[in-house]
Amino acid sequence: MEEIFHQIANCVEFGKVNKTSPYPPDMKGQDGADELTKYALDNGASPVDVLNKGLVIGMEKIGLKFRENKVFVPQVLMSAKAMNTAMLHLKPYFQSGAVKRKGIFVIGTVVGDLHDIGKNLVSMMVEGNGWEVIDLGTDVKAGKFISTIQEHPGCVVGLSALLTTTMGNMEMIVKELQDQVPGTRILIGGAPVTDEFRKKIGADFYSPDPQGAVEYLNRMIA
């Protein structure tokens, strides 16, 4: 079974969704994350092992390569597609409570801002690392973050902003969260955001990439 986990990790790393998927060309005709995950579960593998020894390893590898500019957004999206397809087989185990997630991560692009490509990448990477992700989408007001946090006490929040103008909205949201749901951990990111800005607005963590967010979240629960 270890070999199957290794193959599942490879499928996620290289974005091989299923057997009929033509991408990547050098894996044409081979089983993908879809078939291998089903095979592993049908043959008695534990869903936790499929997740941690297969899918998570693949997502970690692609996350590191993305950080080092060895791959670009399209490859990461293919990896996420492979992971999401495999996750459909794991979903019943999550829903039944047989597999516990590491925690809940609530993410959204702040009010006034419609950019979501980077936010989606963070969301997919964090989910691929075993966290439950609640993605509130774009143009999200403070109130929506607050009500979601109140429904999921102890969750961690991620805010994304791509415009210098909406960085101000990020600051306002951080203030409202600190006021209304004190103690909530807040991660921020987006092209114009810096660690200096994070310090200024009092958020907990800044990362220029999804991998940094994953590492921070995993450190939090270690």
Q: Is the dihedral of CA 29, 71, 156, 171 positive or negative?
A: negative
Are β-strands 104-109 and 132-135 bridged in parallel, bridged antiparallel, or unpaired? Answer: parallel
Q: How many CB atoms lie within 10 A of CB 42?
A: 9
Where does this chain touch ligand B12 (CB under 6 A) — which range of 57-65, 119-127, 170-178, 194-202? 119-127
- Both structure tokens of 66: 């993305």
Of 156, 129, 159, whose CA–CA distance to 142 is shortest?
159
Where does this chain touch ligand B12 (CB under 6 A) — which range of 22-30, 47-55, 185-193, 194-202? 185-193
Does residue 128 bind ligand B12 (CB under 6 A)? no
Contact with ligand B12 (CB under 6 A): which of 65, 101, 102, 115? 115
Question: d(Cα 141, Cα 131) in Å, to the nearest integer?
Answer: 23
Q: At closest approach, how far in Å is the CB of 119 from ligand B12?
A: 5
Q: Both ends of the chain: CA-CA distance in Å? A: 27
Does residue 220 bind ligand B12 (CB under 6 A)? no
Does residue 198 bind ligand B12 (CB under 6 A)? no
Contact with ligand B12 (CB under 6 A): which of 8, 33, 57, 122? 122
Question: d(Cα 128, Cα 52) in Å, to the nearest integer?
Answer: 9
Contact with ligand B12 (CB under 6 A): which of 149, 177, 190, 203? 190
Residues of this chain that interact with ligand B12 (CB under 6 A) are 73, 112-119, 121-122, 158-160, 162-165, 187-192, 207-210, 213
